[in-house]
Structure 1
Amino acid sequence: MSIPNIWHHRKVADNSAKGCEICFKPSTSVLVTPDKQDFFYVCPAHLKDRGFCSPIIDHDAVAAAKKKKEMDEEVERLKKEYEEKQRKKKEKEAEKEKDKDKDKEQEKDKKESKGKNDEKDEKKEDSTSNTKNQPDVEEEPRVFALQRLGIHLNL
């Protein structure tokens, strides 16, 4: 019975690290067969080596994840637009209710508070844009196929 050439990448706890089967350095990365009958420890650097293994990419899952990400971005953009429209609508209603005398005094207060709020909003937008630009840990390949060795023994 032969083992299929499909290996799933898993991480173990730091205190469970064992030596890599190739370079013997401590590693928390493990390649496991789908039925969990066989496993071996390997360094993450070896997983990037195309001579050792190649990732098996599920194109349907990648496309679905990309579509979901685009949908989430669109929803976020629409939420911001809606909140901006609601804020403007409330401002217009507030202006209609105020008298001219009160309007002048409150406009000064609003300008000061808007300046502070705008600065806070800009800081929030900057922090959210920074988190979106960071790569996800889950984008790494999770399934690999080991390469055949070109070594033939003549016995």
Structure 2
Amino acid sequence: MNKGSSSYFVAADGIECGPGHDVSIGSLGKNGDTAAVEFIDVRNVRFTNTMNGARIKTWEGGQGYARSISFFNIEFDNVDHTVLIDQFYRDRSVQVRAAVAISNVTYSNLRVRGTSSRATAVAFDCSGGGCTDIHVNSMVITGPGGRRTVARCRNAPVAVSGQVYPEIPCRC
């Protein structure tokens, strides 16, 4: 068994982030490692001028799981990639499609004042069957000056409730 990383019952509350990178759950599964990440609660966070926002990142070839993760009451101001799940992070020499399984992820109350610096505000990029039980509730993310944003999905069935913009194209 490969070495791994484990984190349980982690809470991040009341953070002002930026300028800089993000709050990432990852990098999970690098070098085929096994991840065990569970019960992560990120809430009351404001991202300003950051590269990413609410992000989950796993390496291709990784094993294990990341589950029961919530992002609640999040504000974005000029963030490049506001909401992101990436199961395809990889070393260019690796050609494996398996990844750490991601499940039971909730995004709730991502505020109306949210702005993305790029047109793609939400990206759920999952390997076949690698993401399950993703929920988006009450999210509005526009571009600067209220410009239009989009969401994209790959292999990510998403349950949507409340006002959600941009529209999530991979609803279950």
TM range (shorter): under 0.3
**Higher Cα Rg, which structure:** 1
TM-score normalised to structure 1 length: 0.20
Question: Looking at both structures, which has the greater relative contact order when contacts are Cα pairs under 8 Å and sequence separation is at least 6?
Answer: 1
Higher normalized strand content (fraction of residues):
2
Higher normalized helix content (fraction of residues):
1
